[in-house]
Amino acid sequence: MAVVLLAEAFGIGALNWFLGVVVDHQQMSMAGLDPQVMSTSSKAGGVVFGLYFAACALVALLVAIRDRAPAGLGRVLLISAAVVHALLGAFALGLVGWPAFLFMLVMLALIVLLLVTYDREPGPGQEVAGGDPLTGGHPEAGTEPGAPAEPPAHPAAEPHGRGDAPQDGDEEPQDTVPAQVSRQPVSTGR
């Protein structure tokens, strides 16, 4: 996906630069704007969008290398790239046609997939392979086929000192909205 985002960065930058050159050579003007301003603006927009998509490609590459979810500015960049692809897809359908729309839709799906793939944390009932609940283990570790299962080192101990006393998260969810206050009707003195 990082390669496709990088290619898209180059394509968007080159397209805007080309449009700026065309406007400059033909001295086109819209609504009385100076052609030189339009040409410079198109080129600057191409550079900005190219760098934006290149930064998104870098974040996607780092996510793939680190095998961790994006965080902070990287997550914000990918979310904004998903929104940009959704909007570009909507415009592309009307202006360019179905192939461009499908490309934008596939890119949107890949970015969303990248964002949600790494969001899963193991739940409290899921144990890590290769270890007991107290010590954990390496994800690739496990028991060999045919090997007897080893009992935990402390069979009487409960994980994290958990007893019968309630701990954080054990209570039922509580509403943060205060109870409704009913007002008594005010007598008017009649």
Residue 90 forms part of a structural domain: yes
Is 84 within the bounds of a domain? yes
Answer yes or no: is 85 within a domain: yes
As given in the structure block, the two tokens for residue 163 are 């007893």
pLDDT, residue 28, reads 76
Is residue 153 classed as helix, strand or coil in its secondary structure?
Answer: coil
pTM over 0.85: no
Per the domain annotation, does 76 fall within a domain? Answer: yes
77 is a domain residue = yes
Sign, CA torsion 127/133/137/143: negative
Confidence of residue 1 (pLDDT cuts 50, 70, 90): confident
Question: Looking at the domain assignment, is residue 102 inside a domain?
Answer: yes
Mean of pLDDT values over 128-140: 49
Q: What is the mean pLDDT of residues 87-107?
A: 93
Classify residue 95: in a domain, yes or no: yes
Quick check: 39 and 21 in contact, CB under 8 A? yes
Tell me the residue range of the domain where 95 lies.
Answer: 71-116
pLDDT tens-digit readout, 143-170 = 555 555 555 555 555 555 555 665 665 6
Using alpha carbons, select from 101, 104, 118, 98 the residue that is nearest to residue 53.
104
Asked whether the beta carbons of 81 and 63 are under 8 A apart, the reply is no
**Count of structural domains, the chain:** 1
